[in-house]
Structure 1
């Protein structure tokens, strides 16, 4: 091990424990070779199975570069053009905005500039197929003008994967396996929990709740697979990064290229600015979305990366192409800052730079967010207090509340049901059950806290006779997005 990484394993272990992460796997590549590869912690709290470089982790949105790579293969074959409107390849494709429907290109899909914000509740634990999700896109209102702003979008990547299927005649999963994974020798990567279970060790998912972590169920997200369903080992992700760092792309099993160096570089060209300007930290500057990747300057070096966050897991895959080094961090606990801390600390070591206190900085960010959550919680408690409710009480449904019980529908989001059992109100969407507590006239606080913590106001609208005719809620919470209106059936 190089002297620059002396003590690195001990630092990772301390960070893992500080951030309450049951297990993680970390690798560092320098000059195209793996110089560090280790697992830390266990696959499941309380059990002895250790995390190793062969442990499988859902990599979540770090799947997206594989989808972009798939489309790049089709571009090189002359089957696809980055800037031809999508409808020329997929005439049935529709968005809410007719201009976006007619003009949206593959480049727009891959750099998140469709005008559509996330709408993740549409697909989260949804029974819909990939094609059915695509058919719902036309009912989702944009929150920005087409191409005017960056807005991260998973459904657009599901559309990108579906386009791969239309043009190649192969399911997206088969295309990625046959055209990318198998040629590179990434034989332990897969696309479903069933496959992962058959392959062997699989890390378990956890969510953080204060200073504790709680195990949560695995999430089946195959319907939006091209946006984030891949499951991989640290060893396989090292193969993927070594391929990214090879200008002649000669790492295939057959000794032949699966993509030209020119096209590989095309995927890394910045397309639209991302994040705050000026930057939060001077070491991290000029963040942009590219095609399947993000690009930023880290302490003066070009850094190409993609993070992944999924129910129970966090990952960060990154490389400095001009220095031929890269870092992989796969970990349990979603929305954890551990992957970012370990990644930046690894680059500081490899580049021989004075260390930055990333742990301290991101701990401060974490505490600030916790304080903001507490402030919102106190505000909601004050609303309940103004109605004469105690902090831990659930108000029994009154006669007026009974009028809210029923089925409601939105053309894009589908159906939501409101029920009342023994005086307790719930709103049920897909497999999520939100507890409803009154916070005003015809207004409830909808709370879900089983796999994520979701808290939002839900408002019921009435007609001139006082009958409830619809409900609305900020299912898409981004600034500028309208509340989703469900009409009573």
Structure 2
């Protein structure tokens, strides 16, 4: 690592330092690490607090890197494909040929994990390939709110997909889906008989010298206890109390290849150098496969780059001011990360922070400053990302505050009261894919505690009219102004009881609800 301030190429200068510290304070992010790789030089710094009260962030600090893990999962599959091709090429009459069917990007997932990989659509089940899963074109939305508790295994998460509605046809559109990376991880482990974390350690991390990268929280904590590493703690900002609140460290094995890794920016610098230089342990064919665009993203969402926006295998592929940029971000409870490389410039960066969402906002502001500096963007053509994100957040909060009028524009002046007394709606409801929704009376409304799920939340219901309600999806420690508000509804059965409860739990389903069936009668 070269962090010398007198190097003319060092972008992490005093001006950048000042901007980073200002943005961290303004957006309430305790700490962040940054690495910039320019050719054969790496510049890295830490800013702020890794763990209160006073543990500083350094370039060596460990963070959960969330969805940036996906690039490693696709790389692992490329190595397996290479292994398979080599084994078949070297097999002779005197040595038994491999018994498995050839592994390619076109291999059907159902053939790799039969019985486990089942979707709600039989055609998609039979034809979805490894490639389809890795480029998010299976027709299955993310169903993030269905993710189970910490006891959920990789195989169980894959098996749960059969209970989750699809919203598109196979290969019809881009639809980001974390569970598909879990399915690919399960396929890799089934084929190799080896945990994917061990596979990555032996085949990618160790060859690249990524000695401070871990697959499980237990491994990272063990490294911390031995003095080999310091693990950042995740936080959320409590605006009312004006203080940071510690988030529980994520400890959910089911995400697996979609987002399990824990690492630091120096190790990620080694990964980015590998990608920029197309060097081992990936083969030339493997490298070409993982960065080749597979699908157009029609709605950019939070993608800051102008279209066409593309997705490869674990990488977004975009263009900024004529330069190809290959990148991926990541976010999990208490953490946010971002990495990118410009292959034609041999330039890249990695950033890691210890809040969810706001870390990613700050990273975008910082990396555009780096990109604009690198590419010489005129000052009057640079986007003020700080102002833009403030506007986006403000508009979201305004929409949330107007949820009743926005979601139910035709409510009568005098709303119809519910058909039943409030306590008659309380009870145990369940959905085979989303699990339990146990509603209890809470003041003039109802509430369900789902804080044991990976996306820990309370679902709070507020009556609107008749059997129509507002559901406030209160993710743990999230600012009340940022709570997602959706429509909910009860169905009163012929016997006069609340037989089922529907709520808009998956945004890609639009107004279609996930229906939880009552089971306590």
TM-score (norm 2): 0.84
Structure 2 residue 448 is the aligned partner of structure 1 residue 442: no
Name which of structure 1's ranges 78-87 and 347-356 shifts more when overlaid on structure 2.
Answer: 347-356
Which residue in 2 is equivalent to 1:52? 58
Give the Cα separation in 2 of the matches to 1:359 and 1:105: 39
Give the Cα separation in 1 of the matches to 2:384 and 2:50: 27
Structure 2 residue 425 is the aligned partner of structure 1 residue 404: yes
SS at match of 2:255: helix
Give the Cα separation in 2 of the matches to 1:278 and 1:101: 28
Which residue in 1 is equivalent to 2:504? 474
Give the Cα separation in 2 of the matches to 1:422 and 1:278: 37
Equivalence map 1:248-267=2 (5 Å): 249=279, 257-267=280-290
Report the CA distance shift for 1:462/1:23 in structure 2 as closer, same or farther (over 3 A). same
Q: Deviations over 1:157-182 (max 9, x none)?
A: 10011111011110111111111112
Equivalence map 1:96-111=2 (5 Å): 96-111=120-135
Give the Cα separation in 2 of the matches to 1:440 and 1:354: 55
Aligned partner of 1:418 among 422, 427, 439? 439
Name which of structure 1's ranges 320-329 and 10-19 shifts more when overlaid on structure 2.
Answer: 10-19
Q: Deviations over 1:236-258 (max 9, x none)?
A: 111111111223x2xxxxxxx32
SS at match of 2:384: helix
Report the CA distance shift for 1:3/1:168 in structure 2 as closer, same or farther (over 3 A). closer
Equivalence map 1:42-441=2 (5 Å): 42-45=49-52, 47-78=53-84, 80-92=103-115, 93-123=117-147, 125=149, 127-200=151-224, 201-208=230-237, 214-247=245-278, 249=279, 257-276=280-299, 284-336=306-358, 337-355=361-379, 360-380=384-404, 400-420=421-441, 425-429=446-450, 431=452, 432-441=457-466
Give the Cα separation in 2 of the matches to 1:422 and 1:345: 49
| Distance apart, 1:203 and its partner CA | 1.6
| Distance apart, 1:357 and its partner CA | 7.1
Name which of structure 1's ranges 257-266 and 398-407 shifts more when overlaid on structure 2.
Answer: 398-407
Aligned partner of 1:37 among 22, 26, 44? 44
Report the CA distance shift for 1:278/1:59 in structure 2 as closer, same or farther (over 3 A). closer
Give the Cα separation in 2 of the matches to 1:302 and 1:21: 29
SS at match of 2:152: coil
Which residue in 2 is equivalent to 1:451? 477
Give the Cα separation in 2 of the matches to 1:321 and 1:355: 25
Give the Cα separation in 2 of the matches to 1:421 and 1:17: 36
Name which of structure 1's ranges 4-13 and 22-31 shifts more when overlaid on structure 2.
Answer: 4-13
Give the Cα separation in 2 of the matches to 1:278 and 1:172: 31
| Distance apart, 1:210 and its partner CA | 5.9
SS at match of 1:166: helix
Asked if structure 2 preserves the Cα contact closer than 8 Å seen for 1:19 and 1:338, the reply is: yes
Which residue in 2 is equivalent to 1:253? none
Name which of structure 1's ranges 162-171 and 211-220 shifts more when overlaid on structure 2.
Answer: 211-220
Report the CA distance shift for 1:387/1:178 in structure 2 as closer, same or farther (over 3 A). farther
| Distance apart, 1:327 and its partner CA | 0.8
Asked if structure 2 preserves the Cα contact closer than 8 Å seen for 1:446 and 1:457, the reply is: yes
Report the CA distance shift for 1:306/1:150 in structure 2 as closer, same or farther (over 3 A). same
| Distance apart, 1:332 and its partner CA | 1.9
| Distance apart, 1:3 and its partner CA | 4.8
Report the CA distance shift for 1:21/1:373 in structure 2 as closer, same or farther (over 3 A). same
SS at match of 2:236: strand
Asked if structure 2 preserves the Cα contact closer than 8 Å seen for 1:328 and 1:343, the reply is: no
Give the Cα separation in 2 of the matches to 1:424 and 1:481: 22
Give the Cα separation in 1 of the matches to 2:268 and 2:397: 35
Give the Cα separation in 2 of the matches to 1:468 and 1:409: 13
Give the Cα separation in 2 of the matches to 1:130 and 1:446: 30
Asked if structure 2 preserves the Cα contact closer than 8 Å seen for 1:191 and 1:222, the reply is: no
Count of residues in Structure 1 that have an aligned counterpart in Structure 2: 472
Q: Deviations over 1:367-412 (max 9, x none)?
A: 2332332233134389899679xxxxxx9x9962222122112121
Asked if structure 2 preserves the Cα contact closer than 8 Å seen for 1:62 and 1:308, the reply is: yes
TM-score (norm 1): 0.89
Asked if structure 1 preserves the Cα contact closer than 8 Å seen for 2:105 and 2:130, the reply is: yes
| Distance apart, 1:294 and its partner CA | 0.9
Report the CA distance shift for 1:441/1:488 in structure 2 as closer, same or farther (over 3 A). same
Report the CA distance shift for 1:23/1:469 in structure 2 as closer, same or farther (over 3 A). same
Give the Cα separation in 1 of the matches to 2:108 and 2:516: 32
SS at match of 1:76: helix
SS at match of 2:463: strand
| Distance apart, 1:199 and its partner CA | 2.0
| Distance apart, 1:481 and its partner CA | 6.8
| Distance apart, 1:69 and its partner CA | 0.7
Name which of structure 1's ranges 303-312 and 194-203 shifts more when overlaid on structure 2.
Answer: 194-203
Asked if structure 2 preserves the Cα contact closer than 8 Å seen for 1:121 and 1:475, the reply is: yes
Give the Cα separation in 2 of the matches to 1:298 and 1:265: 21
| Distance apart, 1:434 and its partner CA | 2.3
| Distance apart, 1:265 and its partner CA | 1.9
SS at match of 1:223: coil
Please list every run of 5 or more consecutive structure 1 residues that lacks an aligned counterpart in the other structure.
Answer: 250-256, 389-394
